[in-house]
Amino acid sequence: MIANESYSLTPSSKYATGLDLARGMKAKTRNYRTLISTIFFWTAAHPLLTIAVCQAIADSEDAPIVGREEEWISKLVQRELIQNWENNEELKHLRSIRDRLLQPQPATLNLLRLYEQVLADEGIPANESPEQRELRTMGLAMREQGRLLIHNRIYAGIFNAQWVEKAIETIETELEVDETEFLKTFTQLERKLLVSQVDFLSEGQTPEEGHQSAQALYEVLRDVTSTVGQLLRAERTTIFLLNDEKTELWSLVAQNEQGEFLDIHVRVGEGIAGGVAQLKRVINIPNNVYDDPRCKLVKEYDQKYNYRTRNILAFPILDEQKNVVAVIQLLNKIAPKTPNSPSRPVQGFTRKDLERLVKCVLPIRQILQACQSSYKATKKLRATAALTEATRSLDQINLDTQTVLHRVMNTAKKLMNADRSTLWLHDPQAGDLWTELPGKGRIRCAIGVGFVGEVAQARHTLNIPFDLYNDPNAENAKRTDSQTRYRTCSLLCMPIESPEGELLGITQLVNKRKPGNHPEYNKEDWPAVPDYLKASFDRNDQQTMQLFNERVAVLLQFIRSHENLKKQAQIDPTEVTQQSLVLLSQMELDRASNQEAAYHSLAHFLQPLHTSVEQAIGVAKATLFILDSSRNNLWSAILDAQKKPKLITVSTEQGLAKTIVSSQDFKGTNKLGNLADPLVIQGAGKIANYSQLFLFPLVNDQKEVVGVVRLFNKQTEGRLDPKGFNRTDADRLQEYTQLISPILQGFQSFYTDIPTLRKSGLTVDPLTHAINLIKSSSSSAEEIIRNVMQAAKTLTDADRSTLWLIDRVNKQLWTKLPQSDGSLIDIRIPMGEGFAGRVALTGQPLNIPFDLYDYPGSEIAQQTDKKTGYRTSSLLCMPVLSKDGEPLGVTQLVNKRKSGQFPAYDPSTWPQAPEQFKTSFSAKDQEDMEVLNTQVGEVLPGILEDS
């Protein structure tokens, strides 16, 4: 019986009671008992259906022949009820059932597929699933002896198998994901890719972090692959990308049941995917795959990976010029899952599947091309990260050439996944190449001899793919291999040149390895080639090594300059010092801004001079200041307690600095006290630790002051010397001046050129800079809030910014705002109140363009502005989420500023909006803040736990 009111109907028939029913049937035939039992056979005693059948019998002009009542009623039910139910007022409740079964929802499909099973079988096991309960509620099914059965034959006749099949097809069509939804999905994937790359850029760029960046790229491609597979209901999906040489298809992601990566390479023209790439046509094999001659490779791979392919659809992705970008290969079409049965294979992919895939071509192509670009960029970043790791110890400035040979090429070997690598250095005096090999010592190679000598002579790249033995010039390599019992399969040799075109060396990579863990080559197997060496260096590898070699060139120049500086310091020390500083700064540019890199170089070169003075004179602390006469100041570069470079400057137009420079005479005291002169306190740390001071001018041979030495606390045997500084100390410093004067001039020349270097160098991406600022924050809530506010303002050119944090216990947002005296005041607002509270509650961004006063709901903002005299013109509020999607806070940016110089805002002009505020936050601002907030979400959980 129907229990749900939405499917119920009050009887309106004249057969209101059982007595009326019996009388009506008796009037129709004397065999009325058979007539009534036949009615119940069709209706299962359903009251509304029973009344409807009786009404049809009563309205019928003829009567059943005695003994043939069952046949007569069956025809009547088919004609008057099942085929004409929509025009029967007694059955209007069926319209509600029909409408429910045609609702375009995934849940409806599950309901229809379950009902389809009930119609086809002699009942299925009953349970309390939502679908079974609803079928029983609608009266379509009933529970009997632990089985779910058809409730009555009239419902089964109206909503029969053909009707259900058509309904499923209609709903599936309505539920198809359109192109707009796919574009949205792919946009999210592109955003994920962007975030992963920004994460990588914001870190120290180690090779391990480069691997994480590549892993994020793999995950994006896996998501694309999975989405296409789900759309077409394929058991396995692979996206093959075409290499730059257009000779080979390769899969970054080949999906199996465990979600593992399968490394697959297919040459164009080979196998199904290769054939699609060559012919640019779809291949659809619905059955008997192994009997198709094109499926030889498919059968081999299935045997290798213990899989069985029943049907295949392979589809080419073409660009606007009809060139192949990729091939999508789908294996084994499966039927939809039903609540009580798993997915099952079906007979191949259909035309409808092809039509669905065609709709996806544009967004798929866009994401694949973006992934190709990101993959290339990631490899370049990994190359930079790898060399940075190899050159980190340059801070010590004591590396020798042999150490560099070992470190750089080991890094290149790992970076390029090569089996062997060698760095050959050019010897201009001998006119040949040399290197050091483990167990063999130093070996040399003549220019023009062998592959390496050929590259050195021609100054061009030599890339020999697998199999190198097929190259006409491989005889020398074969002879060498026969002696060493090693198998050379592929080779990449590239020259290393200075910016002026001078040959510095050759990088030689031997045998590209396929990804994965593979054993070392077994000499006993020579000349056989293991599968993992059947690979080649491609164009991406060449581009990566080109970038790598450019970095190596700078490194080699630095080492050469450093060694020359040690051996030939007497030859123009001013120029040597300046050039060494420039080279070291270039090496530091990958880890810092141009200005910071320059200061880092100065600090590291000056530190040994500070130390040498401390040891020579015997003092607790020495600082060397250099005179910049063009700016009228003394400057020095030091390393703070965190080993970060810090530039300190002191004006020579006042105080002790003016006195020392103008008089060219030293000053000293043994009772320092609280002397607060800039020349005394700048970069000195805690002055209270010192009681003695000595300031000495450094004068060159031309009687010009080139700097000032500041000394604290004369010491004897590690203890304070009560006699303090004397004339002897001044004489020793004068002798020291003669030795270092040319070096000081080199420092000053480089310091003067820093603005030029800064203009000519690369600038740091604002988003990356903002992320770095967040990541450098300490664990205090105050610093996090301050750094986030500053980073957000700078990133988006906002006039004001606030980071609101969520207090779940009190259901509030809170922050700390700076006051005019520098102190911080705690501010709290209820969740849901104001723009920030609304974003915290909904988790949705809010971007209100100029003019915010025209925006509905801006009354509170206008009232607040009236009290403060400030003019809110535009606003961007973005949620800060944890990795699990939990809301942590809100970043609030107020008033996007136009670029250019504008006067400070004048509160007396309120409510007029100043010209600099007549603009809005852009979509890029919102995207940048989304990425920035991702980083904020990583550091906030610990802060919220402590607060």
Q: pLDDT tens-digit profile of 321-351?
A: 899 999 999 999 886 554 444 445 567 888 8
Angle between helix 781-796 and helix 766-775 axes, rounded to 10 deg: 180
- The pLDDT of residue 211 is 52
pLDDT in tens, 534-548: 888 887 788 778 877
- The pLDDT of residue 674 is 75
Token readout for 416 is 């390029």
Is 682's pLDDT higher than 60?
yes
Is 75's pLDDT higher than 70?
yes
Most confidently predicted of 144-148, 179-183, 600-604, 846-850: 846-850
Which pLDDT band holds residue 255 (cuts at 50, 70, 90)? very low
- The pLDDT of residue 214 is 59
Residues 601-632: b if buried by 16+ CB within 10 A, e if exposed: bbbbbbeebbeebbeebbbebbbbbbbbeeee
Is 247's pLDDT higher than 60?
yes
Bond from prior residue into 363 cis (ω within 30 degrees of 0): no
Which pLDDT band holds residue 718 (cuts at 50, 70, 90)? confident
Is 700's pLDDT higher than 80?
yes
Is 413's pLDDT higher than 70?
yes
As a whole-number percent, the residues of the chain with pLDDT over 70 amount to 77
Which pLDDT band holds residue 847 (cuts at 50, 70, 90)? very high
Residues in contact with 295: Cβ distance below 8 Å, sequence separation at least 6, in sequence order: 271, 272, 285, 289, 309, 312
Is 310's pLDDT higher than 50?
yes
Is 572's pLDDT higher than 70?
no
**Least confident segment among 605-619, 622-636, 801-815:** 605-619
pLDDT in tens, 429-438: 888 999 887 7
- The pLDDT of residue 765 is 46
Mean pLDDT of 499-507: 88
Token readout for 841 is 């509650």
**Least confident segment among 3-12, 79-88, 925-934:** 3-12
- The pLDDT of residue 573 is 46
Is 568's pLDDT higher than 70?
no
Is 501's pLDDT higher than 70?
yes
Which pLDDT band holds residue 774 (cuts at 50, 70, 90)? low
Most confidently predicted of 166-170, 258-262, 371-375, 589-593: 166-170
- The pLDDT of residue 875 is 94
Residues in contact with 44: Cβ distance below 8 Å, sequence separation at least 6, in sequence order: 142, 151, 152, 153
For tokens 């005479």, what's the residue?
A: 665
**Least confident segment among 21-30, 309-318, 705-714:** 21-30
For tokens 């012919």, what's the residue?
A: 279
For tokens 């079409």, what's the residue?
A: 333
Token readout for 755 is 């603005």
Which pLDDT band holds residue 678 (cuts at 50, 70, 90)? confident
Mean pLDDT of 723-733: 86
Q: Are 189 and 363 in contact (CB under 8 A)?
A: no
As a whole-number percent, the residues of the chain with pLDDT over 90 amount to 16
- The pLDDT of residue 461 is 93
Q: Are 708 and 697 in contact (CB under 8 A)?
A: yes
- The pLDDT of residue 339 is 46
Is 849's pLDDT higher than 90?
yes
Question: Taking the model in full, what pTM does it have?
Answer: 0.41
Mean pLDDT of 60-77: 84
In the chain the first and final C-alpha atoms are separated, in Å, by 60
C-alpha dist (Å) from residue 237 to 250, 636, 776: 14, 62, 42
Is 848's pLDDT higher than 90?
yes
- The pLDDT of residue 412 is 78
- The pLDDT of residue 489 is 94
Is 498's pLDDT higher than 50?
yes
For tokens 């090693």, what's the residue?
A: 486
Residues in contact with 4: Cβ distance below 8 Å, sequence separation at least 6, in sequence order: 137, 138
Which pLDDT band holds residue 593 (cuts at 50, 70, 90)? very low
Which domains are assigned to the chain? Answer: 18-83 (no CATH), 94-175 (1.10.10), 179-379 (3.30.450.40), 394-517+530-563 (3.30.450.40), 590-757 (3.30.450.40), 765-946 (3.30.450.40)
Q: pLDDT averaged over the chain? A: 78
The Cα 565–Cα 829 span in angstroms is 63
Degrees to nearest 5, angle at CA 732 with 731 and 734: 65
**Least confident segment among 373-377, 486-490, 882-886:** 373-377
- The pLDDT of residue 337 is 53
The Cα 925–Cα 932 span in angstroms is 10
Q: Which helix (H) or strand (E) holds 728?
A: helix 727-760
For tokens 């090496």, what's the residue?
A: 587
Token readout for 709 is 């030495």
Q: Which long-range contacts (CB under 8 A, 24 or more apart) does 305-309 make?
A: 305/256, 305/262, 307/236, 307/256
pLDDT in tens, 193-220: 666 655 544 444 444 554 555 566 677 7
The Cα 701–Cα 349 span in angstroms is 90
- The pLDDT of residue 179 is 52
Which pLDDT band holds residue 770 (cuts at 50, 70, 90)? low
- The pLDDT of residue 764 is 41
Which pLDDT band holds residue 393 (cuts at 50, 70, 90)? very low
**Least confident segment among 85-99, 265-279, 608-622, 774-788:** 774-788
> Bigger pLDDT: 263 or 331?
331
- The pLDDT of residue 340 is 47
Task: Give the chain's count of helices (H) and strands (E).
Answer: 28, 28
- The pLDDT of residue 275 is 92
**Least confident segment among 135-144, 219-228, 834-843:** 219-228
Is 152's pLDDT higher than 80?
yes
Token readout for 40 is 């119940």
- The pLDDT of residue 397 is 38
Query: Which sign, positive or negative, has the C-alpha torsion 38, 42, 46, 51?
Result: negative
Is 564's pLDDT higher than 80?
no
- The pLDDT of residue 193 is 63
> Bigger pLDDT: 528 or 590?
528
Burial of 693: CB neighbours in 10 Å, binned 0-12, 13-18, 19+: buried
pLDDT in tens, 643-667: 777 888 888 988 899 999 999 999 9
C-alpha dist (Å) from residue 321 to 107, 318, 325, 768: 43, 8, 10, 36
- The pLDDT of residue 196 is 61
